[in-house]
Structures are given as C-alpha cells and as structure tokens.
Amino acid sequence: MSDSPRRRGRPRSTDADAAILDATRRVLAEVGWDGLTMAEVAARAGVAKTTLYRRWPSKHELVVDAVAALFAGLALPDLGSLRADLEEVVARFAALLARPEAQASLYALFAEGTRDATLRARIREAVIAPMKSLVHQGRAAAQERGELPPDGSRAAAAAEADLIYDAIAGTVEHRVLVTGEPADPAWIRRFTSLLLLPLGAG
C-alpha cells in the first residue's frame, strides 16, 4: 500500500504553520474578510503560496484554523474550587476577546457563517467543541471535590455542559464584542455568582 498524501514529501513545519496563522489574523485585523487574500497571507508569513495552499486549500479553512489556534491556548485552571476556576476561565476568555486580531477574526467568521452552513459546521468542530470540553472538565473536577452533584445521566450532563458553555461564551462575547464594556474583576465575580446559583454549587 502506498503512503498517504500526508506522509509524502517534507514534514509540515510547525513554525511555518504558526507564522501563517499569525499572518492571517494580522491581515484580517487590517483589511477584513473581503480584503484578505491567500497571496497576502503567504507574503506576510514569508512562505510560498504553494506552501500555504498545501496546508489550507481555502480561505474558510485558513481563517477557522487561525481562530482555533487562538483559543487553543485556553486551558482549565486548577485553583481548588469551582468559583475560582470559573472566574479564571472567564477572565482569560475576556482577555483573549479583547485582542484586536481575535475580534477581527471572530467578526469575519460570524458574518460569513451566517451565509455558509459548511463554515458554521467547521467553526463548531474546530473552535466551539474544544472550548466545550473545558466545561466538561470543569464539571468533572467540581464533582470530584463534592461541589456539584453527580450526573443523573450522560445526556443530562451533556445538555447542562452545553448550557453552561453557551451562557459563558454568549455573555462574555456580548460584553466585550458588542457593548465594549470591560470584563473587570468585579463584573467577573458578579457573573460567576449568577452562574453558580442554578448549579447548586456547595
């Protein structure tokens, strides 16, 4: 059996990938979705266009991965309590959304996603699903500490985790991207308190 296309040729360079994704976000921040071209991204990243197209055959794929790479840096803290973990996650998320390149990338994806169901599916897969996994991890850690009751069923646990993610992502994105108000420590504490009430965290 012949080698798969992924195994043939030179191995992918993680440095080149990082440079391309960073260039994508910078170009988006400067010229927006319509102004972004694969040629400009390649030039900014210092790679050949053929190198770029081998990795990302379309602008959609490229921008989704550029956004996913930003959020990949988010991790679940282990600060000893559900409240402390939630406050830290919200603070990190808000700080990430405040970055100009993150805002430009998300605005572009939101706008294009309303017109393209395939793009929305890619966003859910590459950006949203990994972030939802943090909620599942946080719930499991809180249950081990006895702060949350055990799951009644797998389906109920998944539904609750989805709601928690929607509440965090929707509220923080509205605060930072829509109203432009600061997600300062006092606001984060109030928001976390609201989240914890229906969860019955002890």
Topology (CATH) of 68-199: Tetracycline Repressor; domain 2 (1.10.357)
Q: Which of 40, 59, 58, 48 lies closest to 16 in space, CA to CA?
A: 48
Domain ranges of the chain: 14-67, 68-199
Topology (CATH) of 14-67: Arc Repressor Mutant, subunit A (1.10.10)
Walk along the chain (202 residues) and give the pLDDT tens digit of each residue: 444 344 344 445 788 899 999 999 999 888 888 899 999 999 999 999 999 999 999 888 999 999 999 888 888 888 889 999 999 999 999 999 999 888 888 888 888 888 889 889 999 999 999 999 888 888 888 889 888 888 777 888 888 888 889 999 999 999 999 999 999 999 999 999 998 887 765 4
C-alpha span between 67 and 107 (Å, rounded): 11
pTM of the model: 0.81
Amino acid type, 25: R
Q: What's the gap between Cα 94 and its chain centre? A: 12
Q: Residue 66 — φ and ψ, nearest 5°?
A: -65, -40
Give the per-residue SS3 of 162-186.
HHHHHHHHHHHHHHHHHHCCCCCHH
